[in-house]
Amino acid sequence: MRSLTLAEARERSSLITVTSYAVELDLDQGPDVFGSRTVLRFGCTTPGAGSWVDLKAHSVESIVLNGESLDPAQLADGRVALPDLAADNELAVVATMAYSHDGQGLHRATDPADGQDYVYGHLFLDAAPSVFACFDQPDLKAPYDVTVHAPEDWTVVGNGAATRAADGTWTLATTRPLATYFMTVCAGPYVSVRDEHDGIPLGIHARASLREPLERHAAELFDVTKRSFDYFHGLFGIRYPFGEYHQVFVPEFNAGAMENPGCVTFRDQYLYRGAATRDELLTRANTVSHEMSHMWFGDLVTMQWWDDLWLNESFAEYMSHRCLVEATDYTDAWVDSSIVRKVWGYGAERSPSTHPVAGVEALDAQSALQNFDGISYAKGAAALRQLIAYVGDDRFIAGVRAYLTDKSFGNGTLADFLRAIEASSGKDLEAWSRAWLLTADRDTISVEIDEQNGVVERAQVLRESPADRPADRPHTFDVAGWTDGCELGRVSTTVTGPVTTLPELEGTPEPAVLVPNASDLTWARVRLSDSTVAALPAQLPQIPDEQARAVVWSALIDGVHGASVSPDAFLDVFDAAWPQETNSSILTRVAAYAEHRIVPYFVPRPEQDAATARLNRAAAGLLEGAEPGTTESLAAARLVAGTSDDEALLRAWADGEGLPAGLEDDGDFRWIVVRNLAARGLIGVDEVDAFRAKDDTLQGGLNALMCRASLPDPEAKAWAWRQLTGREGRSNYEMVHLARGLWVAPDDALVADYVPRYFTDVPAMAGWVGEDALSRVVLVAFPRVFTEETARLSAKTIAREDLTPAVHRSLVDADAELREALASRQTFGAAV
């Protein structure tokens, strides 16, 4: 299907004004297809001109434009030409559409727990025409009237309040004007919990088999929802405009969540079946708040074209953290941002695919998607924090309010947004936005100290911008130092040149650990001094400032990726500091990063068992001392389960014996144990199947696939490869879980055959897997055989001209990580 180009979108929106959509969906036609009838009313500024409507149908029954039938056979490449338009037009399209299984369009999944089917619409970014005939571009907004026919026992939720008539038809209330990609319908035997706040009816919904966790988590979810509503109402000064507010936890969702007005969809792993760490609850609260902030920024005011999608996400990323800190108990949300979101964004910045936050002209819709990454979220949010430091918070918020008011129910651009902030602040943002938004890459900041007898004589902040992407970014941040847990000095500074002196530090004792950007206000590579890195094992656990500790961990991770910190130095800090960590985000995320990234990527294969054993010792020590049922205990138990080589312990835990308190009936915890047993070859297919039978759920099925693919025998790998790359009709989630298990192997020889096959078979999957899902599969399935030969095949594949944009982008990113791993092994290999 061809992707809409910017030129086409501009031309069509200059010609067309959409008045309304009436969409009728028949979801009672079995598991494969559904009926779709659209009546589209629209104006045309130049009567007599032609245009087209977007439609990706399984079959088309009829197309009637202003009473005249058009030949359905003329549907080509996802478009139907509309000739000779009148000033006012009515288009009626009757079609049959296919359900999807890759999380794009109207996704349908069967829950193995009870055999029930569930449907949800995810029409971002250009999947709307696979559900109804439409002018699919973000600046052609219109109100929707949606009706749905569904099986007798189904519930229907959508953008407008749903009511069920006597004949079983569901009617959704007429919406406010929406962009096409926001339209959604969720239908199935969903179970619901309802509430109300400040006049807004609230609902949360999930599969019937998730009733227990839904009810268990409902109070927390509603609490964050209500606090976020109050906070955003106060901050934006505009009432939530979309009627009811539903949050639907749906199966096999590609992203975290989607901000459909009035009907937000979430991945249903967020309804944690077993024990959840505080960090997991924080992450979910952050997602709830993030999606809600989009109701104003994104939904009420939508970007004109996809190249400003970043502004939606940067804004929501910033606002959700601000809301959590100011309006909920998750007052450490910025710590989470440092150790989760910014670590992700810095990874994107290190890749050759990095790009400016804004101003990358997206010539078509699909190419916009390729620049939608950690830069759009984490760097954009950091840039907004720097913008606030530059213009002042009151003026920033006044500008945001003016922008949202001025563009309500319409569209805006970056230029509109900056103009609003310029008007409210009286500051010219031309140079600021050129440096921060329009130039890729990041500065490196470090602090240089001259000392005499342990007293600072001179302290300077050094700011280096990349030679090939020069920029003059102003940074506002602070520098802080500690010795034995005592803060010896903290200085706020605004850096506007390559060297900035910090006179406040002169004459103060030189600290053992000095942290630039200690409160993590800016976006930069933080270079820790050699003496600071050497002091960290002893000093980091004593630093009372959790935000600064997160900055240190982030800098270490960045340093390992950049081959400036050895994996061994990282593990030294891990051994000493991790078990004493008290912040839930740092504790859980650093553990996961060490286990799943640092050791398998950066530690050479012969040393990996010893490195894993180090992680295991640290985790076992923490588990022993931690209070049962706490985040510490849970994080430690998970790391023990994933890293232990103690067969007796693993078998006991898998059989439910001697489990740490709170994990007795935790199916997800059991799968961590079973996966470890499978990866070590201590169990076989039959036992994996037996554990699957104990957890016959969607999540259990996915874990069983991953475990089976992890088995260290050639037959299991061959099976996994066929399941992953064959046209077996595997869903998006199933493919990712197969890929996760595939490369798990005690030695490279077991999986070496699949390295060349990856570079031919996986790109070919673009023939039947959607781009959004495939981009994840390409990343997760990338060979974990870290050799020059893999790098050679990778480079050769990236140079191919027939790759789809998503495959190309993901290959570039995975290849960058391979090269980081190789560089680190080359630099530190002998010393580990």
Interface ranges with Zn ion (CB under 5 A): 313, 316
Q: Identify the burial level of 671 via C-beta atoms within 10 angstroms of its C-beta, where 0-12 means exposed, 13-18 middle and 19 or more buried.
A: buried
The amino acid occupying position 122 is H
Q: Which is nearer to Zn ion, 316 or 619 (CB)?
A: 316
Q: Compute the least distance from the CB of residue 294 to Zn ion, in Å.
A: 5
Strands 105-111 and 116-122: antiparallel
Q: How far is the CB of 26 from Zn ion (least distance, A)?
A: 31
Give the helix/strand (H/E) hosting 494: strand 486-495
Nearest residue to Zn ion, scored by beta-carbon proximity: 316
Query: HSE-up of 776 (CA within 13 Å, CB side)?
Result: 19
Between 155 and 376, CB nearer to Zn ion: 376
Give the pair of three-digit tokens for residue 620: 């076992």
The torsion angles phi and psi of 37, rounded to 5 degrees, stand at: -120, 125
Tokens of 151: 């099986």
Q: Are 178 and 144 in contact (CB under 8 A)?
A: yes
Helix/strand/coil for 219:
helix
Q: Minimal distance in Å, beta carbon 323 to Zn ion?
A: 13
Nearer to Zn ion, 184 or 465 (CB): 184
CB of 273 to Zn ion, least distance (A): 25
Query: Cβ of residue 316: shortest distance to Zn ion, in angstroms?
Result: 4
**Residue 131 CB partners (closer than 8 Å, separation 6+):** 23, 25, 36, 97, 105, 106, 121, 123, 183
- Provide the CA 615 distance to its chain's centre, in angstroms: 27
Shortest separation between residue 309's beta carbon and Zn ion, angstroms = 9
Q: Which backbone phi and psi does 135 adopt, to 5 degrees? A: -90, 95
310 vs 553 by CB, closer to Zn ion = 310
For the chain, how big is the Rg over CA atoms in Å? 27
- Minimum CB separation of residue 313 from Zn ion in Å reads 5
Nearest Cα to Cα of residue 118 among 106, 130, 128, 127: 106
The nearest distance, CB 315 to Zn ion, in angstroms, is 9
Of 65 and 309, the one with the shorter C-beta distance to Zn ion is: 309
269 or 797: CB nearest Zn ion: 269
Residue appearing with tokens 């799943």: 596
Q: Which is nearer to Zn ion, 295 or 461 (CB)?
A: 295
Helix and strand counts by DSSP (H, E) for the chain: 28, 28
Between 295 and 635, CB nearer to Zn ion: 295
CB of 259 to Zn ion, least distance (A): 6
For Zn ion, give the closer residue by CB, 183 or 586: 183
What's the rounded Cα separation, in Å, for the pair 58 and 206? 28
CA angle 734/738/740 to nearest 5° reads 115
Q: Following DSSP, what letter does each residue of 763-810 receive, concatenated?
A: HHGGGTS-HHHHHHHHHHTS----SHHHHHHHHHHHT-SS--HHHHHH
- Distance between CA atoms of residues 782 and 600, nearest Å: 13
Q: Which is nearer to Zn ion, 315 or 390 (CB)?
A: 315
Give the DSSP per-residue string, 65-94: ETTEEE-GGG-BTTEEEE-S--SEEEEEEE
Is there a contact between 680 and 715 (Cβ–Cβ < 8 Å)? Answer: no
Nearer Cβ to Zn ion, position 130 or 265?
265
Cα gap 37→24, rounded to integer Å: 5
User: Quick one: CA dihedral 96, 101, 102, 108, positive or negative?
Assistant: positive
Residues with Cβ within 8 Å of residue 820, at least 6 apart in sequence: 350, 561, 562, 563, 601, 602
Cβ(799)–Cβ(808) below 8 Å: no
**Please, are residues 303 and 138 in contact by the beta-carbon 8 Å criterion?**
yes
As measured in angstroms, the least distance from the Cβ of 524 to Zn ion is 24
The verdict on whether 291 is a catalytic residue reads: yes
Reading phi first (left if > 0) and then psi (alpha if -120 to 50, else beta), residue 284 is in alpha
- Tell me how far, at minimum, the Cβ of 280 lies from Zn ion, in Å: 19
CB 516 within 8 A of CB 461: yes
Could you tell me which of 567, 585, 676 has the C-alpha nearest to residue 632?
585
Q: What are 797's two structure tokens?
A: 């594949």
Q: Which of 823, 756, 828, 768 is nearest to 792 (CA)?
A: 756
- For 452, residues 6+ apart whose C-beta sits below 8 A from its C-beta are none
Please count the other Cβ atoms lying within 10 Å of the Cβ belonging to residue 665: 12
Which neighbouring-strand residues pair with 266? 249, 257
Residue (320 or 519) nearer to Zn ion, CB:
320
Looking at residue 659, what DSSP letter applies? P
For the bound state, the minimum distance from the C-beta of residue 136 to Zn ion, rounded and expressed in Å, comes to: 20
The one catalytic residue among 259, 291, 632, 817: 291
Least distance from C-beta 347 to Zn ion, angstroms? 19
- 313/771 with CB nearer Zn ion: 313
Cβ neighbours of 286 (radius 10 Å): 25
Which residues form the catalytic set? 291
